[in-house]
Amino acid sequence: MSGELYLTFSLILAWVIAEILIGKWMFNAKPDKTIIEKYPKKVIILSSLPFGSSWKEKVQKNDIGALEAYQFRVKICFLSMVVALLVFYAYISIRF
């Protein structure tokens, strides 16, 4: 039983480290402060949500690239969390 517990702890630790690295990568794509200050908070929040594109009508064309890059990385971060949690749930339900 201690081997299974060690493996479970190692998987949780690896997942936490991976999520920290993915989160750091995501926040590196955050748009510059000059872009964020141009628009209302609602537009910035909508642009950072993983799905939706209604915010594109309210921003300048040259700022869309920076906001889309951040939105893409947010999608990857959410997807990595969901997939990791599903895999961990499957592992726990099979092992215990």
The string of pLDDT tens digits covering residues 55-92 is 899 999 999 999 999 999 999 999 999 998 898 889 88
The pLDDT of 20-43, averaged and rounded, is: 92
**Encoded tokens for 12:** 């949780």
Owning domain of residue 12: 2-95
For the chain, the domain total comes to 1
Alpha-carbon distance of 68 to 21, in angstroms, equals 20
Q: What is the pLDDT of residue 2?
A: 80
Question: Which runs of consecutive H residues, i.e. helices, occur in 28-95?
Answer: 33-38, 41-48, 61-95
Alpha-carbon distance of 22 to 80, in angstroms, equals 8
